[in-house]
Amino acid sequence: MKVSFLKRVLVDQLRETEFWRLHDSGLPAEFLKELENAVQEIKMAPNGYMVVSESHGLRRYYEKRFHTHIIYQYIPEEDSLRIVRIYNARMKPVRFD
């Protein structure tokens, strides 16, 4: 399965790694590893997570260790997964309708 990341996700990822670096210099690497593991889990069951926007076909995966929401879109006809946003559950998110 092909996995792609919207440009906004890179900004999200930088924000999150900086947030964790301020807490402990070793946490950014651990955060990125957990993010990678989460994407692998999504790939195994892309239709298995909560729908957050039916109109856009968006779903949400919750990564527990770092409290990260991963918003994604699965496109079965292309066998592809598009990561749309990532954000810490403690943040006030933008609506994804």
Q: How far apart are CA 83 and CA 6, in angstroms?
A: 6
Question: Quick one: pLDDT at residue 94?
Answer: 57
Q: How far apart are CA 52 and CA 25, in angstroms?
A: 33
- 22-48 tens-digit pLDDT: 999 999 999 999 999 999 999 999 999
- 36-87 tens-digit pLDDT: 999 999 999 999 999 999 999 999 999 999 999 999 999 999 999 999 999 8
Question: Quick one: pLDDT at residue 89?
Answer: 84
Question: Quick one: pLDDT at residue 90?
Answer: 77
The strands making up 50-53's β-sheet, listed across from edge to edge, are: 2-5, 80-88, 68-75, 58-63, 50-53
Domains, the chain, ordered by start: 2-88 (3.30.2310.20)
Residue 45 parent element (H or E): none
Question: Quick one: pLDDT at residue 53?
Answer: 93
Spatial neighbors of 20 by CB under 8 A, at least 6 apart, are: 27, 28, 30, 31, 66
pLDDT confidence band for 97 (50 / 70 / 90): very low
